Each structure stands twice: as structure tokens, then as C-alpha cells.
Amino acid sequence: MTGPTVEQVITRVHHEEWARVVASLARRFGDLGVAEDATAEAFLAAAERWPREGVPPNPGGWLATTATRKAIDRLRRESQHDAKHQAARIVYDDTPHEPTGPVEDDRLRLVFTCCHPALALEARVALTLRLLGGLTVPEIARAFLVQETTMARRITRAKAKIKAAHIPYRVPWANDIRERLTGVLAVVYLVFNEGYLASEGDDPVRVDLTDEAIRLGRLLRTLLPDDGEVAGLLALMLLTDARRSARVSGTGELVTLDQQDRSAWNRALIAEGSALIRERIKAFAAGGDPPGRYQLQAAINAVHTDAPSARDTDWSTIVALYGRMVLLDPSPIVWLNRSVAVAEVDGPGAGLAEVDRLAEVLDGYHAFHAARADLLRRLGRGGESRAAYDRAIALAGNPAERAYLTRRRDQLAG
């Protein structure tokens, strides 16, 4: 047996240490740009030196030390250009940790800074992937199908705003943390969804983004182990991702849940996700907070992954879980999902009656027309079904979804 190659070690250490090094440098030097650049330089140095000199016994420590040295070198160099200004930064006070919350991890501060509500959502996503995920600017640009220069500008502008507006590098105050954390989870889930059901481009699934989102979800879980929604989001992503390989056919077509080959589902991810759900059910039973939207969505997914076959799905539990979701988030999309579940319990006629009530608000949403098309088909109303498929196909951005909808439409009799 041979051990991992140096390259594999560097990849692993990059995953494990990048955010930690950036976060500790950000605290020490009070500047995200310096922290990011110095960390990147340290990893570059590792890639050059480790293959020659061997991997140091404590790779994380080596990287932190190297990055700190690079940051100081850089600040010194800059200080020669602009002595007065830089002198202030070089002695930047290494502020002792204030009592900031339950966990004193620099990475948690970094999460809240990158996902600050004063930044545009797309900037939060980009910063989170760069500073916490360690993705390069070209990688992020590729993932979101924007020009590299556009993405670089977006990140630079966000960092400049953080600095100029004094966006704090801190875990929010107790009375704000719930709302701020909701914003953080939204960023991670957006990354996941963009990977899982890409709204643009030719790849139906962008694995790099789903993997990255799960990695961020695991990091948040490490940092906030007692938070129900953090656990819920991670469970939701794991249970969804577990079905990834069964979700798109060999010919690049979306395969709906009832048609998927369940033996292709990733059992390890399902076990991990289910364990998180069980933990949350226990916490709730012991008097904890009622489940939020991610926990409910994860629980709905767990009902699917628990069913040995599509026929065995416990749809009435799913309807009940959507009923709770609607109370938290009465958005038309949640109602739409509930209606689809209602159709499984009470028949397509009942489902269609509920779906049709959403016609006005969801007219521009492909999934609304896809759901209607399916229900109309099951009710034998072929002409109306075809028209609904046409609308859904015209609105769907994902190629696998379009292929699936087109085939279903063309299968309609007459």
C-alpha cells in the first residue's frame, strides 16, 4: 500500500486549512485582502516546496506561519511606498477575542463577514466561496458562468466595501444572530442549488458547487453544532445529493423521483443525513425549538429516501410536513409543492384544484406549469396538458429538465 501523493495531501490540507488560515490572518491584520493574498501565497509555496522537501509534520501550522510571514512582508513592502498609512496597519492591534458568542472560532467571524446583509447576495456568495471555500476567482467565475474579470471585480468591490464601511469581523450579537444566520444558510443553500439544478448552462449538475456547499455546511455544523437549522440544511443537502447519480439519465434527461433507480442512491450520505434528522427530532422532543424550514425540507427528503420504492412513499406525512412549512413560509412555491403531495394522497383532481389557485403568482415559473401538465395528463385532459408542457419547456433553464419535459409532452396521445 502506498500513502497519498503530495498532491493529494495538498488538496486535503487546502480543504481543511484554507478557511482557518484566512480567518486567523483576517483577525490579526484586520484586512481580508491581505489575508486572502497571503494565504494563497502560502499554498503556492507549499505546492513548490513540499514535493521537494516533504510534507511538514504539521501542515496547518506550516501554512499559518508561512502565510503570516508573507502578510508581514507584504505590509512592509507596502509601507515603504506609503509609510505613514501603512505604519498604522502593520502594528494593527491584534485585538484579543471579545466575548462574541458560543464559539470562538475565527472562521465563524469570517462566515458572518462574508455573508453580511449589507453586501449584495451575489457578492456574499462569491466572497464565501473565495475566502471560506478557497475556490479561485476563475473557478467561481466558471461556476456562475460569468466573465473572470466580472467576478474579480465583484469580489474586489465587496472587500473594499467591507473595509471602507467597517463591516465588522465578528459574530453578531445574540439578538441578531438568528436572522443573520438565516442569511448565511441562504448563501450556502444558493450555492448548493446552483450546483444541483443549474439554472443556466449545459451541465445539468455542477458537482463542484454541490460539493463545496456541503463542505461549507459541514464547516458550519462544526462551528455551530447545537443549531437545528444548521443541522437541517446539512441534512437536506446530503439527502438531496445522495440521489444525484440517479437524477439525470445516461442521455442527459431529468429522472423524476418516482422513476429513479433507488439502488443508485448514495447510502452513506443518506445515513448521515438521516442521523442528523433523528438528532433533531430528539432535540425537539426534549423541548428544543420547533423545526425551521431546512429541517422540515430535510425531513420531507428523508421520507422519500426511507421509502424502499416510490409506491411505498408516506405521502400523508409529506403533506403534513408541507403543512408546517406553509406556516413558516407561506410562499406560493411551498404551496405548489404541497399541492403536488396532496395529489398523491387525494388524487390528481384535488391536487389540480390547489395548483390552479397559484396560477396568477406562479405563471412565470416553469415548475408550476410542469406540475399542472402532469396533473392534467393524469386526469386525461391531453390538450390542456400539452399546452402546460409547452409553457414549462419554454420557461425551464436546465437542459436535463427541458429534455424530460419535452419527452413527456411528446408522449401525450393525440
Partner 1 sequence: MPRYLLSVYGPAEQEAELRAFADTDAFTERLQGDGRLVFADGLEPATTATTVDGQGGRPAYTDGPYLETTEHLDAFWVIEAADLDVALALAVEGSKACRRAVEVRPCRTERAPSERC
Binding site for partner 1 (CB under 8 A): 82, 84-85, 88, 116, 118, 164-168, 170, 172-173, 176
Contact assessment for residue 276 and residue 298, using Cβ atoms and an 8 Å cutoff:
yes
Distance set, CA 315 to CA 72, 277, 369 (Å): 60, 18, 22
- Residue 290's region, left for phi above 0, alpha for psi from -120 to 50, else beta, is beta
In the complex, the smallest distance separating the C-beta of residue 125 from partner 1, rounded to whole angstroms, is: 19
In the complex, the smallest distance separating the C-beta of residue 176 from partner 1, rounded to whole angstroms, is: 8
Residue 7 or 82 with smaller CB distance to partner 1: 82
74 exposure class (CB count in 10 Å sphere: 0-12, 13-18, 19+): middle
User: Which grid cell sits at 338?
Assistant: 404541497
Residue 172 or 204 with smaller CB distance to partner 1: 172
Contact assessment for residue 373 and residue 226, using Cβ atoms and an 8 Å cutoff:
no
> Rounded CA gap, 369 and 385, in Å?
9
In the complex, the smallest distance separating the C-beta of residue 225 from partner 1, rounded to whole angstroms, is: 25
In the complex, the smallest distance separating the C-beta of residue 123 from partner 1, rounded to whole angstroms, is: 14
Residue 177 or 379 with smaller CB distance to partner 1: 177
In the complex, the smallest distance separating the C-beta of residue 166 from partner 1, rounded to whole angstroms, is: 4
Phi and psi of 254, rounded to 5°?
-65, 135
In the complex, the smallest distance separating the C-beta of residue 229 from partner 1, rounded to whole angstroms, is: 21
Contact assessment for residue 398 and residue 254, using Cβ atoms and an 8 Å cutoff:
yes
In the complex, the smallest distance separating the C-beta of residue 81 from partner 1, rounded to whole angstroms, is: 12
> Rounded CA gap, 204 and 224, in Å?
32
Residue 14 or 180 with smaller CB distance to partner 1: 180
In the complex, the smallest distance separating the C-beta of residue 35 from partner 1, rounded to whole angstroms, is: 18
Residue 79 or 331 with smaller CB distance to partner 1: 79
In the complex, the smallest distance separating the C-beta of residue 118 from partner 1, rounded to whole angstroms, is: 6
Helices 207-223 and 174-196 pack at an angle, to 10 degrees, of 160
Residue 116 or 338 with smaller CB distance to partner 1: 116
In the complex, the smallest distance separating the C-beta of residue 269 from partner 1, rounded to whole angstroms, is: 37
> Rounded CA gap, 103 and 284, in Å?
22
Contact assessment for residue 13 and residue 60, using Cβ atoms and an 8 Å cutoff:
yes
Within 10 angstroms of residue 168's Cβ, the number of other Cβ atoms is 13
